[in-house]
Structure 1
Amino acid sequence: MTGPLSGVRVVDLTAALAGPYSTMILADLGADIIKVEPPGGEVTRRVGPYPPSDDGQATLGGYFQSVNRGKRSIVLDLKTPEGHAELLELVRTADVLVENFGPGVVERLDISYDTVRQVNPRLVYGSLTGFGSTWSGESPYMNWPAMDITIQAMAGALSITGTEDGKPVKIGPGIGDIFPGTMLAIGVLSALLEAERTGQGQQIDVAMFDAMLSLCERIVYQYSYTGQVPKPIGNTHPILTPFDVLEVKDGWIAVAATTQLRWEALCRIMERPDLIEDARFRNETCRVEHRAEIRTLLDDWSRDLTRAEVSEKLGGKVPFGPVNDIRDIFDDPHARARDMLVEIDNPGSSQKAIVAGQPIKFSRTPSKVGTRAPLLDEHGAAIRTENRSPATERSH
């Protein structure tokens, strides 16, 4: 691997989406991710969709490929003395351990931070939980299980997503998993830097609830400042306008001309310079007060145009974008030019898997989607051999 984390070894005990997404980031940045799986494999190995098989054998599913690319797999039964001992041997040569077990599991398996730090005091130990660990702030929900939709609900995201007169709507991507996973990766990198200075590791706790509340930051200050409870307002913005999704002849577009200069530019493009001098729209505050009139004006302008025509008029001049589905994105040159649609192999199938690329770019130590996801225990023998070799003794 060529990324900036080349040489960093991570023991990955995570499953599902939040934890594997976090270690996926580290893998793309060059870390050696040793994915420790139970006998039978991690649960998402059994989740599709699957590509057509050339020989009738099972292939790697899209879910598993997407967030486990670039990792190596070893099977350990942590419930057995042998598996537990092997894990501690991996920890001895590791820089990082990441886990997202449910409440109380690491204690039952005797792999808590207090246990593994005895083997490797430099170890950075990342924990991703639903509502936090006891040491970082005990919550009444500490023992509750957590999923993307329940966290979106409890941390406020659902309360501001949807139309004014509709039911709460979940944010489309699994943001309740993915954002906490991203925050955990930031925590791991910060602790690694600190460990280089001090020679001491530490534990990191990212609660899914906490991460999502931080993502919903504006509802916190809005309520604190005004005493008003923010509600769903569709595609608009509570304190900026125009900021909306408009219908055109062949689909939908998004426009955000919220500053004075961009509002004036939009008025000229619409061939309505008179709106610039209109007292209702003379500044940002006035425009928010008259958002309904602005929406009517924009609808009257956009509904007779196509996406391509609007793009020609607005592209590069005011913040604008077509509402793309994934087929549109596959056809758009931007995503491939930026290495954001990446082909990887899929054993047993002639059909390549395509996964989302790594958005963090480096000038000297490039990040990249390295290899496909591993087959179950594909690297077990090699990892065991490495761990027995004196070369793996880390001299920090």
Structure 2
Amino acid sequence: MNLLDGVRVLDLSRILAGPWATQVLADFGADVIKVERPGAGDDTRGWGPPFLEDADGNDTTESAYYLCANRGKRSVAIDFTLPEGQALIRALAARCQVLVENYKVGGLAKYGLDYASLRAVNPALVYCSITGYGQDGPYAQRAGYDAAIQAIGGLMSVTGEPDDAPGGGPQKVGVAATDLMTGMYAATAILAALRHAERSGQGQHIDLALLDTQVAWLANQASNWLVGGVVPERQGTAHPNIVPYQVMPAADGYFMLAVGNDAQFARLCGVIGEPQLAADPRYATNAARVAHRAELVPLLQQRLRTRPAAHWLAALEQVGVPANPVNRIDQVFDDAQVQARGLRIELPHASGGTVAMVRNPLKFSATPLRYGQAAPVLGQHTAQVLEEMLDIDGGRLAALQAGGVVQTVHPSNEGETE
């Protein structure tokens, strides 16, 4: 069995935070029904290149971006700006346990698809709303974008080199970290609310904001301010509370050094031929090293520049001091540990080929994850879902399609739409 067998999720979200959450639920075995706009679909379908190639080597309409967050779902193309489309969504919501949406605050109310309206047809529905700033407050009506939230939520103030260093200034994280973390919080919240609904018969509304998530996972940086009264600053790859813990130069490039305790520091000093540093009261403890960061780090950098990175990585591994290469993405997938863990997977796609993806990082001993198919093409499952869940036959489906309410995929070629 799968972890979430029997759970149906109506996914009205698009872009990344919502789709990331529902992909996790799909990985766990939930039946995720992705509702998309006929003729267009999720915005990220067009966020390329690169695009997936079909069996003949031609670009499909599925971007790599879209593919990364929508595996294992069923695509149903319904225009819910039309009354008949709204009725279809309400009927589907009555038969689902979860609904996820990321429209602007109040955006679905005019279609009768807000929580209050759908709770009337399904009191046990877990309804998760993801917005930029939350359902209330002075910014509630603002659109929320990952980079903008990284800025206002403080992440850019602690990411990048200091202002007075070469290349200094605010930087965003290299992936949409706020969106992704919000998606993970959403998945966790949904699972908790499902547990409550199973016990009480009552669903609830989850109000989840990108800004709230970003502030929450400032973690030790927020605590440094709240507890210590010190405003954190950008320190490049360095750690605010641990030294030495940063990218270091070697004779032929860079590597990451992550000394986590005093014993590791002493072993580092032995490897670089400077054992006296570990006995120096300025550097003997982590607190002292943090206080004397400006003197210690240049000493270490000067010594480490004398040998290639491979030399230091091998020597440090022998004595148990954490250090790693700074890999490019291609090198990540060539790494022996990444390969041993099977992080790259291949899933079948409706175009006739397969899609290379990264597996869910979770491994369950009793219920291993089964992924099924890659992300669907637009409207791939419209006919299947409407017949299965709402008993809509071919004649009714044809009428809905003729009226522009739905979009289906030709059964003989799932890559072509009607």
Q: TM-score, normalised by structure 1?
A: 0.92
Q: Is the 8 A contact 1:59 1:347 kept in 2?
A: no
Which residue, out of 179, 190, 198, partners 1:188? 190
SS at match of 1:181: helix
Q: Please show how residues 292-371 of structure 1 align to structure 2 within 5 Å.
A: 292-315=294-317, 317-348=320-351, 350=353, 352-371=354-373
The separation in 1 between residues aligned to 2:221 and 2:281, in whole angstroms, is 30
Give 5+ residue unaligned stretches, structure 1. Answer: 390-396
SS at match of 2:113: coil
- Name the Cα RMSD after superposition: 1.8
The residue that corresponds to 2:235 in the other structure is 233
The residue that corresponds to 1:39 in the other structure is 38
| 2:133 is equivalent to residue 131 of structure 1 | yes
Cα distance, 1:51 vs. partner?
Answer: 3.4
SS at match of 2:62: coil
Cα distance, 1:229 vs. partner?
Answer: 2.0
Paired AA for residue 188 in structure 1: I
Q: Is the 8 A contact 2:149 2:178 kept in 1?
A: yes
Cα distance, 1:56 vs. partner?
Answer: 4.5
SS at match of 1:318: coil
The separation in 1 between residues aligned to 2:137 and 2:187, in whole angstroms, is 23
SS at match of 1:372: coil
Encode CA deviations 1:35-82: one digit per residue, 9 max, x unaligned.
011111221112221134417563422111110111001111111121
Paired AA for residue 21 in structure 2: S
The separation in 1 between residues aligned to 2:5 and 2:344, in whole angstroms, is 23
Cα distance, 1:293 vs. partner?
Answer: 2.7
Cα distance, 1:355 vs. partner?
Answer: 1.9
Paired AA for residue 309 in structure 1: H
Paired AA for residue 249 in structure 2: E
Q: Is the 8 A contact 1:57 1:348 kept in 2?
A: no
Q: State, as a whole percentage, how many aligned pairs show the same letter.
A: 38
The separation in 2 between residues aligned to 1:308 and 1:190, in whole angstroms, is 46
CA separation of 1:51/1:75 partners in 2, compared to 1, >3 Å: closer, same or farther? closer
Q: Is the 8 A contact 1:3 1:29 kept in 2?
A: yes
CA separation of 1:176/1:120 partners in 2, compared to 1, >3 Å: closer, same or farther? same
Cα distance, 1:372 vs. partner?
Answer: 0.8
SS at match of 2:90: helix
Paired AA for residue 142 in structure 2: W
Q: Is the 8 A contact 2:52 2:59 kept in 1?
A: no
Which residue, out of 155, 158, 169, partners 1:157? 155
SS at match of 1:343: strand
Which deviates further from its counterpart, 305-314 or 72-81? Answer: 305-314
SS at match of 2:108: helix
SS at match of 1:354: strand
SS at match of 1:263: helix
Q: Is the 8 A contact 1:78 1:109 kept in 2?
A: yes
Which deviates further from its counterpart, 228-237 or 293-302? Answer: 293-302
| 2:26 is equivalent to residue 24 of structure 1 | no
Give 5+ residue unaligned stretches, structure 2. Answer: 392-418
The separation in 2 between residues aligned to 1:236 and 1:55, in whole angstroms, is 44
The separation in 2 between residues aligned to 1:150 and 1:235, in whole angstroms, is 22
Q: Is the 8 A contact 2:6 2:31 kept in 1?
A: yes
Encode CA deviations 1:93-114: one digit per residue, 9 max, x unaligned.
1110000012321112211111
The separation in 2 between residues aligned to 1:61 and 1:253, in whole angstroms, is 33
SS at match of 1:221: helix
The separation in 2 between residues aligned to 1:254 and 1:31, in whole angstroms, is 39
Q: Is the 8 A contact 2:53 2:59 kept in 1?
A: no
The residue that corresponds to 2:276 in the other structure is 274
Encode CA deviations 1:128-167: one digit per residue, 9 max, x unaligned.
111111xxxx211011111011000011001111111221
The separation in 2 between residues aligned to 1:52 and 1:34, in whole angstroms, is 24
The separation in 2 between residues aligned to 1:118 and 1:251, in whole angstroms, is 62
Q: Is the 8 A contact 2:262 2:286 kept in 1?
A: yes
Paired AA for residue 160 in structure 1: V
Q: Is the 8 A contact 1:55 1:348 kept in 2?
A: no
The separation in 2 between residues aligned to 1:108 and 1:264, in whole angstroms, is 65
SS at match of 2:377: coil
Q: Please show how residues 137-176 of structure 1 align to structure 2 within 5 Å.
A: 138-164=136-162, 165=164, 166-176=168-178
Q: Is the 8 A contact 2:349 2:373 kept in 1?
A: no
Which deviates further from its counterpart, 271-280 or 374-383? Answer: 271-280
The residue that corresponds to 1:15 in the other structure is 14
Q: Is the 8 A contact 2:52 2:60 kept in 1?
A: no
Q: Is the 8 A contact 2:11 2:22 kept in 1?
A: yes
Q: Is the 8 A contact 1:69 1:374 kept in 2?
A: yes
The separation in 2 between residues aligned to 1:56 and 1:92, in whole angstroms, is 40
The separation in 1 between residues aligned to 2:46 and 2:88, in whole angstroms, is 25
CA separation of 1:254/1:369 partners in 2, compared to 1, >3 Å: closer, same or farther? farther
Paired AA for residue 21 in structure 1: W
Encode CA deviations 1:165-215: one digit per residue, 9 max, x unaligned.
221111111012111111111100110111111111111111000000011
SS at match of 1:150: helix
The residue that corresponds to 2:409 in the other structure is none
The residue that corresponds to 1:214 in the other structure is 216
Cα distance, 1:318 vs. partner?
Answer: 1.7
The separation in 2 between residues aligned to 1:270 and 1:108, in whole angstroms, is 67
The residue that corresponds to 1:94 in the other structure is 96
Encode CA deviations 1:241-297: one digit per residue, 9 max, x unaligned.
111101223332111113112212222222332222112112121111221232123
SS at match of 1:374: coil
